Amino acid sequence: MIDPTPLRSRSTLVDVRIGLVYSARELELELADDTDVEALRAQVANVLGDDDGVLWLSDKKGNQVGVVGAKVTYVHIGAGSDKGRIGFG
Task: State the Cα–Cα distance between residues 85 and 68, nearest whole angstrom.
Answer: 29
In tens, the pLDDT along 39-72 reads 999 999 999 988 889 999 999 999 999 999 999 9
pTM attached to this predicted model: 0.72
Ranges of each domain in the chain:
14-79
Look at strands 54-58 and 27-31 and give their pairing.
unpaired
pLDDT tier, 4 (very low <50, low <70, confident <90, very high otherwise) = very low
CA distance 68 to 47: 8
For residue 40, the SS3 value is helix
pLDDT at 8: 40
Longest dimension (CA), the chain: 54
Of the candidate ranges 7-11, 17-21, 24-28, 61-65, the one whose mean pLDDT is the lowest: 7-11
